[in-house]
Amino acid sequence: MRRRSPAGLPGAGLVADHQVRLLQGTEELFPALITAMDAALSDIQFETYIFDFTGSGAAVAQALMRAAQRGVRVHLIVDGVGTGALPPLWADAFAAAGVHYRVYSPPGRLGLLLPYRWRRLHRKLCVVDNCLLFCGGINVLDDFHDPNHGALEAPRFDFAVQATGSLVQTASDTMEQLWWRMQAVREARQRRLPAALGSLRAAAAAKHAARQADEATSSPVRAALVLRDNVHNRSRIEKAYLRAIGAARHEVIIANAYFLPGRRLRRALVLAARRGVRVRLLLQGRYEYFMQYHAARPVYGALLDAGVEIHEYAPSFLHAKVAVIDALGDHPWATVGSSNLDPLSMLLAREANVVVEDAAFALDLRQRLVHAMQHAGHRMDPARYAGRPLRQRALDWVAFGLMRLALWAAGRRY
């Protein structure tokens, strides 16, 4: 009989062939990335929402170029909204070095006025030599720099993981499949039909390899790459959260940048709190974007009434998308990835999370989150929330209404 994890998700844990290391911020991620790229022998596959060349971001770009110059195949995909067209100097440098890059779904003339353009590539994945995976919420963006707000006094709060083992093959095949699909579309638009058909065959081969990898790792494991897309994996990340929260017995800690959970997730959190589980949320405390900041506020009331603790992170921008459940219990569960708990991530974007069941990993993540809540967060007072000024409540409900209207325009229910 197949063993099920406490979260109810077969294969949601870690086996002996996996090693998973938690990385906090670009200060820990970028040196690990660059070291791996400088040691690469054959392939580097890279996907990111934002690729910004300011500060330490340039060091990652230079590592990609060094790898390409010594003959490593380097495939880079950036999102058309998060990154857009690369700066001409860097585009020329990439081309000269032999870095192959694509822009996922450029917005075009009408931009985001077209709802289908809201489907973004939001995952942050890197696979080196098909044996080492980096996955998380961290863009190629210096932690002390923000494209909209300039220099930051404190680093952005975010996480990633470095992993080896069987889940690396799943990530590699998924990235390869997307690359060849984009290549096929590009060639078809240029009327290079034989090349386009060849790219589609390559994409089909990558899909077949991914299916074989899933079958090969279907036996009980203690780590998994959980993907979200708009075809076969529409709700896997949400279901992983729901099952883990539903199985929680002692504690749920979630740190999430853009927090606007749907009814099922809100209900799961409320029910957990009511059955005695301590539920703590570490959320964005600094104003970044109007919609994400204000639209989340109307859902806080029911959570606070149920006893959920809400802590707002203040020193800098919180960008994490992580959770840890029952780290001190017999069945620890943790996830680190790119998926926010909001409609854009849950319904529209391509996302990638790593789920881990390991006591040491869960305790490490828990310690970092608890430290942030105690030393860098402000706990929201339910009475103060209920008595917030009329103008702020109006802005909250306007943003919430606009978000619901956008979902209606996209033909989605949440």
Percent pLDDT > 90 in the chain is 75
pLDDT band of residue 414 (cuts 50, 70, 90) is: confident
Instruction: Give me the amino acid identity at 120.
Output: R
Residue 221 confidence (pLDDT)? 42
- Of the given ranges (129-133, 153-157, 192-196, 378-382), which has the lowest mean pLDDT? 192-196
The predicted structure's pLDDT at residue 109:
82
Give the integer Cα–Cα distance in Å for 201 and 191.
17
Residue 335 to residue 20: CA distance in whole angstroms: 11
pLDDT digits (tens, 9 = 90+) for 107-143: 988 888 787 788 999 999 999 999 999 999 999 999 9
**127, two tokens:** 């696979």
- Taking 50 as the threshold, does the pLDDT of residue 7 lie above it? no
Whole-angstrom distance, CA of residue 231 vs CA of residue 216: 22
Task: For the chain, count helices (H), then strands (E).
Answer: 13, 17
Q: Identify the weakest region by mean pLDDT among 159-173, 182-196, 241-255, 376-390.
A: 182-196
Please list the residues that pair with 222 across neighbouring strands. 13
For 102-132, b/e burial (b = at least 16 CB within 10 A) is bbbbebeeeeeeeeebbbbbbbbbbbbbeeb
Tell me what pLDDT residue 348 has: 93
Tell me the mean pLDDT in the region 83-94. Answer: 94
Does the pLDDT at position 200 exceed 70?
Answer: no
Domains of the chain: 19-166 (3.30.870.10), 223-409 (3.30.870.10)
In this model, does residue 5 exceed pLDDT 60?
Answer: no
Asked if the model's pLDDT at residue 361 lies above 60, the reply is yes
What DSSP letter does each residue of 20-49 carry, written as one string?
Answer: EEEEEHHHHHHHHHHHHHHT-SSEEEEEES
Tokens of 136: 């998380």
What is the pTM assigned to this prediction?
0.88
> What are the Cα distances from residue 254, in Å, to 155, 335, 366, 372?
19, 9, 10, 12
pLDDT exceeds 80 at position 46: yes
Determine how many CB atoms are found less than 10 A away from the CB of residue 99. 23
Give the model's pLDDT for residue 195. 52
Question: Rounded to an integer, what distance in angstroms lies between the CA atom of residue 292 and that of residue 298?
Answer: 12
Which residues, listed in sequence order, are joined to residue 73 by a DSSP beta bridge? 43
**What percent of the chain is modeled with pLDDT above 70?**
87
Q: Say if CB 343 and CB 414 are below 8 A apart.
A: yes
Residues carrying an active site annotation: 122, 124, 129, 319, 321, 326
pLDDT, tens digit, 9 for 90 and up, residues 201-235: 554 544 444 444 444 443 334 889 999 998 888 89
* Contact between 33 and 125 (Cβ < 8 Å): no
- pLDDT confidence of residue 190: 56
d(CA 407, CA 360) in angstroms, rounded, equals 40
* Residues facing residue 323 across a β-bridge: 254, 335
What is the pLDDT averaged over residues 360-366?
A: 96
Q: What is the pLDDT of residues 276-331, one digit of tens each?
A: 999 999 999 998 889 889 999 999 999 999 999 999 999 999 999 999 999 999 99
pLDDT in tens, 258-275: 999 999 999 999 999 999
* Of 208 and 49, more confident: 49
Among 49, 28, 55, residue whose Cα is nearest residue 142:
55
